[in-house]
Copies of this chain bind each other. A is one copy, B any other.
Amino acid sequence: MTNSTLFTSPVLTWLDNQGKNSDIVLASRVRLARNLKNIPFPNRAKRSDLIQVKELILRLLPAIETATNLHFEYIEIDKLNHLQQNVLAEKFLISQKLINNPENRLVLLSDDLSVSIMVNEDDHLRIQCRAPGLDLDSCLKRAFAIDDAIEAYLNIAFDEKMGYLTAYPTNLGTGLRATVLLHLPALVITQQISKIINISPQLGMTIRGLFGEDSLGNLFQASNQLTLGFKEEELIENLSATVQEIISHEHDARKALLNYSHDKLENRVWRSFGILKYAHSISQHEMLNLVSKVRLGVDMGIIDETKADILNLLLIAGQKNYLQNLNEMDNMTPQEIEKQRATTIRNIFSQLQNTPTP
């Protein structure tokens, strides 16, 4: 890899706070699942099958570069050490499944990390395209361009009735999973989030906490539930419209907080800032909950001593493998990690303070 900051920088262009509705939607992602015709799915493939897929895809790198106008590199997962593998997962570029069986698994990464294509994960190909803010359209457009470039050379498993064939039936049809990463602190504080989660299936949407755990950091992922019976554009349009509704509810909840609990909110926001800025040891859990409140404070104009990016940066920089990799130590104790996390947070705070506001 020539991308020297891949494992050491928390900055991701697709998480840079510059997109549409970036105050609430941190990022958009479209993922297409594709499989090569007449080769077993990876979980049933022989070693030679996996190697064949790998080699076929690598030959297509130039075509993918032309289609996207991006420079790509590929990483063989089993050539990475444990920390590097996990840093890629913490950066949302690969899945834990790819790490669990690293042999003959690849990830193709565009230089700006907006495209990551996993090879031999559940499906032969998982084409992932990302953009900051709410922008599923451009993600889909790019994913289609990559898919077209691949399908121009390779036969893809496709059934006239069913659509694209996938390892799991949940992806059958379009093979599309569109996801937006949402920051919904006001809906959590005003206890409206469970209502939204409860009705989401009726809207064809799945919404869940980013870190599995309920509402940790007030971060949620909303995805399309159906993959079959609709065109990709329809699925994305539906998800975008539903997300727009959620954004509008979050905005209303923020206004209500300002009107009815301004002082309480202000106190919470500033206390969170104080702890986050000065703690010398902190868990990821506490960090996420504090930085969410700080971010809310920035978004609502309560606090101007830091920038909204603090959330985006800590989302990556506060993770344990990233922190250990920074120290080139893969055997740090939980205490050492919590200390390193606090140091990293303080460094990022001082960087954000020194940068002049544009």
Q: Is A271 engaged at the interface, CB distance under 8 Å to the other chain?
A: yes
CB distance from A349 to the nearest CB of B (A): 11
Q: Complex formed: what's the CA distance from A340 to B342 in Å?
A: 30
In contact, B278 and A263 (Cβ under 8 angstroms):
no
The secondary-structure label for the interface of chain A is helix
Q: Is A54 engaged at the interface, CB distance under 8 Å to the other chain?
A: no
Max chain B C-beta neighbours (<10 A), residue from A267, A270, A274, A278: A278
In contact, A263 and B279 (Cβ under 8 angstroms):
no
Q: Is A249 engaged at the interface, CB distance under 8 Å to the other chain?
A: no
Q: Is A257 engaged at the interface, CB distance under 8 Å to the other chain?
A: no
Q: Which residues from B are CB-within-8-Å of A263? A: 280-281, 335, 339
In contact, A267 and B342 (Cβ under 8 angstroms):
yes
> Given A263-B339, A267-B342, A339-B263, is A274 in contact with B279 using a C-beta cutoff of 8 Å?
yes
Which of chain B's residues has its CB closest to A265's CB? B280
Q: Is A266 engaged at the interface, CB distance under 8 Å to the other chain?
A: yes
Copies of this chain, tallied across the complex: 2
Mask for A254-275, Cβ within 8 A of B = 1, else 0? 0000000001101100110111
Which of chain B's residues has its CB closest to A269's CB? B280
Q: Which residues from B are CB-within-8-Å of A251? A: none
Which of chain B's residues has its CB closest to A282's CB? B267
Q: Is A208 engaged at the interface, CB distance under 8 Å to the other chain?
A: no
Q: Complex formed: what's the CA distance from A11 to B278 in Å?
A: 28
Q: Is A307 engaged at the interface, CB distance under 8 Å to the other chain?
A: no
Max chain B C-beta neighbours (<10 A), residue from A264, A274, A275: A274
Which of chain B's residues has its CB closest to A270's CB? B278
Q: Which residues from B are CB-within-8-Å of A270? A: 278-280
In contact, B267 and A273 (Cβ under 8 angstroms):
no
Q: Complex formed: what's the CA distance from A274 to B267 in Å?
A: 13
CB distance from A260 to the nearest CB of B (A): 14
Q: Which residues from B are CB-within-8-Å of A277? A: 274, 278
Q: Could you give 12 example pairs across A and B, Cβ below 8 Å?
A: A263-B280, A263-B281, A267-B280, A270-B278, A270-B279, A270-B280, A271-B275, A271-B279, A271-B280, A273-B274, A274-B275, A274-B278
Given A264-B281, A266-B280, A273-B278, 14 more pairs with CB closer than 8 A: A263-B335, A263-B339, A267-B279, A267-B281, A270-B278, A270-B280, A271-B274, A271-B278, A271-B279, A271-B280, A274-B275, A274-B277, A274-B278, A275-B275
